[in-house]
């Protein structure tokens, strides 16, 4: 199997995790049984844990070897500021799509990084692919529930949007594979900017929604999400 075909398959699977999360959120008859408050919060926490593991185990470690400290710092902070500006813009315009924007803002650069990682046969490429898919399921779940609060977005329309956006994964992955695998500095900047943005999103949007008074299970979702990343990292060493 050619490396380019692997990029297409890996990024497609990771992208399809978004509508899968949306489908899980749409299953209304589950809500009386297991989609209760604790489970929904645990799903959000799991996504946060997976995002943190992607940052801490793949994106930052893979990128800091190719750039000086000052450029790494500027890239990381620049990504977080860009996410903050996007968040402020969406809130100001009362757009019910902050979760969707955050999902895309980390999915696209991660897919670019994945394509480049597969091109250079990086041992962390499959771990990155798995983490992207893992985080896209709860992100798709949360984005669906957020969009569903608006009367403009019916269930079918939301899922159609998610399926269409999933196609951006292979496009970004192929771009990284064909054009960025030899540009280590540029790729490192993209990965660090994505890391800064992800970290902002985790503590701005995800972590505040996880806590429930007199409930202790939801934070374990974050622990499990990060633990899966650690296990994958150790298995690929």
pLDDT per residue over 190-234, tens digit each?
888 888 888 787 777 666 555 555 455 555 555 666 666 566 665
Task: Tell how far CA 29 is from the center of its chain.
Answer: 27
Distance CA 194, CA 186 (A): 12
In DSSP notation, 192-221 reads HHHHHHHHHHIIIIIHHHH--TT--SHHHH
Paired tokens of 32: 């009386």
Mean pLDDT of the chain: 79
Convert the pLDDT of each residue in 28-75 to its tens digit: 555 545 455 666 667 777 777 778 888 887 888 888 888 888 898 898
The kind and range of the H/E element at 145 are helix 125-147
On the question of pLDDT at 17 being above 70, the answer is yes
Phi, psi (5° rounding) for residue 67? -135, 150
Label residue 215 left, alpha or beta by phi (over 0 means left) and psi (-120 to 50 means alpha).
beta
Convert the pLDDT of each residue in 96-151 to its tens digit: 666 777 778 778 888 988 888 888 887 778 888 888 888 888 888 888 888 888 77
Paired tokens of 149: 């609060």
Q: What is the DSSP letter of 151?
A: T
Paired tokens of 166: 């999933």
Distance CA 217, CA 211 (A): 9
pLDDT value, residue 219: 56
**Cα angle value 40/137/204 (rounded, 5°):** 65
| Domain spans in the chain, listed from the N-terminal domain onward | 3-27+37-235
Convert the pLDDT of each residue in 5-16 to its tens digit: 999 999 999 999
Q: What share of the chain is helix, strand, coil (3-state, %, to 5)?
A: 80, 0, 20
pLDDT value, residue 86: 81
Q: Which three-class secondary structure state does DSSP give residue 67?
A: coil
- Taking CA atoms, 4 is separated from 27, 112, 228, in Å, by 35, 13, 26
pTM of the full structure: 0.77
Mean pLDDT, residues 82-95: 77
């Amino acid at each position: 199997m050619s490396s380019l075909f692997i990029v297409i398959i890996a990024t497609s699977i990771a992208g399809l995790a978004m509508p899968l999360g949306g489908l899980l959120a749409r299953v209304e008859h589950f809500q009386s049984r297991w989609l209760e408050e604790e489970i929904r919060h645990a799903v959000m926490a799991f996504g946060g844990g997976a995002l943190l593991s992607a940052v801490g185990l793949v994106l930052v470690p893979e990128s800091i070897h190719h750039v000086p400290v000052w450029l790494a710092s500027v890239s990381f902070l620049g990504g977080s500021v860009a996410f903050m500006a996007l968040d402020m813009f969406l809130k100001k315009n009362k757009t019910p799509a902050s979760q969707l924007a955050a999902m895309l803002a980390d999915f696209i650069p991660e897919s670019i990084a994945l394509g480049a990682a597969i091109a250079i046969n990086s041992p962390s490429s499959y771990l990155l692919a798995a983490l992207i898919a893992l985080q896209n399921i709860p992100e798709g779940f949360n984005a669906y529930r957020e969009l569903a609060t608006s009367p403009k977005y019916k269930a079918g329309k939301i899922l159609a949007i998610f399926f269409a956006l999933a196609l951006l994964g292979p496009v970004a992955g192929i771009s990284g594979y064909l054009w960025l695998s030899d540009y280590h500095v540029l790729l490192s900047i993209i990965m660090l900017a994505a890391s800064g943005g992800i970290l902002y999103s985790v503590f701005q949007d995800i972590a505040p929604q996880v806590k429930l008074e007199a409930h202790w299970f939801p934070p374990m979702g974050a622990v499990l999400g990060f633990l899966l990343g650690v296990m994958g990292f150790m298995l690929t060493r």
